[in-house]
Structure 1
């Protein structure tokens, strides 16, 4: 199965990442399908229908347990995909239900930083994460890595990643039922990070570096690795789990924890205290709801924000690096001030104009001539540098100091 990801239409994201400074970009790993930040999965999520063009892609808006229970028959074959840091909403009962479906011939593809103990025990594998104590974006940025695929078409072909690649790999596997499909370089030794575990009539694909599916790597020439990973998924309907909701039936952890109200209602004396307190609160609100004199609002005088506005506009032009626009405005302001202050016509900047301007402004003829010739030259240009802008500004300020 061959996939093609159309990265061209996502090039604006790449431009955006390069233009926005690091302190304004959210570099946290969120793996959210609706998030366009570097480490969201917006691109691969929206390309899923093209990646699996022969299959029907269903985006789960309910827990996988609830979906399988209501919509999937025991003889239906599906392909389940989950790309997250940890699939914490896939609890023990939901995972058991999913593995039972895999036994009947379905496929599960999970790319996670952390696998649950129940999944490890069920499929007989363990993992080792040498960077499990690293969480901050600044520290993760330093973690580069090299990944490999064991397929003969890609064997020994390195896939280089420049950040957020944890040394996370499978430490122990059941070799009778497991095939190593990919590895990661850990201190010069190739360790398995992508495996296929045969489970009944189906298979479970496990991958330890979900960051490879994020927008950052999709836009930096590493989409081929993701295409190769997905090529192992057989034909069939795709269930893409965005981990939106917990199960309505299996998530009983919160039910086991008694709420404070349940504790109060479990003791008669506390129950009466609760009801008396609520009744007293209602009486207080009832008698205190009468109309009261409104507080006289303090109206602050309008502030002169001219300087702040000028700074804002200047910063805008500076950020856009539109030096030509600023040069034109400086020249327009200069000529307007000449007309207003010295009553000189500025339509023709000839030698007579220069002599008259030098005489009325008390500037020497040479410097005045140099200034006007500079203005004429800059007017003819289509682009200007920041150096030319600064030189023009200094010349104009020096001219008016006379």
Structure 2
């Protein structure tokens, strides 16, 4: 009854904990997923849902295949189209990049917005990715560090609160300050490795560095933009109607749009439990805690549990002790003749079992057979047989020394045979 009471209390505590966790306000998830099916700040559901209004009459299709597979499987539209890619990082295999450039060369449009781009693509366009520090080192060098302050905390005091981006077209440009971005965004920009930049500069950052370029490539156009955060839900709603995202997308022609979701969600049909777990920090931590708990269980509870197995001593062979005891009994009683006869009978039994000999008569034939089968010298055999006859003759009054001589000769016989 007492145990049930404790279990009831424990169950109530667990239920209350679950309810509190379920109904408590959720902290804002600032993970940069750029997924088109999430409402968190750095997802892209808002811009994806507004694309049909920006390009009336044009089909917007979410694709979840590498670009090479889109072209190889014949899933690209027959008419010209726009490939729209927005992600934290643009990671493409070489065959994807080559197929994408061929796609643009044929008269289509590609719009890539990311913080990094494939090496093959930047090399082809004679570009490199530059990164601005988010710390104002000029102010930091002019200030003094507190005694109880470590280096990281010291530099964090001079971290920029925001970065600015702007568009170069006077119709879209917003004063001198531009579009203000927070949350450590827009630090990347493009650096040309060619003396002549064969591209149109559509956007810059607060330092005048290029972060939005348009390339004429064959019959089509390729747009590169290095601040994908401007297309997120957070900045789309914060900047309102005159936001950077709509103005940047206005450069795209009115044609069907292929929205790349492969970089964020993988291939169509993938429902991996791990992929789902890593979509939420809470689920991710729960997964890691589960693995850690299982590891601790294996370490501390995985040992076999059972009673200590007692050490059992092997059964000892007491035959020799028995023989010694019996022999000692006969010796103490001075019954030399009886003991001598038992040793003789034991020796004869040994000959019958070991060599298959007849032992009824210890005659000449017996001796010759014994020599042939044992290899013992004939003289030793004669001496032993003679000793046996002597012992049997004096059986009524056998001296101790005669018993000892018989025993020594028989033991010598055993050693020679072995």
**TM-score, normalization by structure 2:** 0.48
**TM-score, normalization by structure 1:** 0.50
- Richer in helix (by share): 2
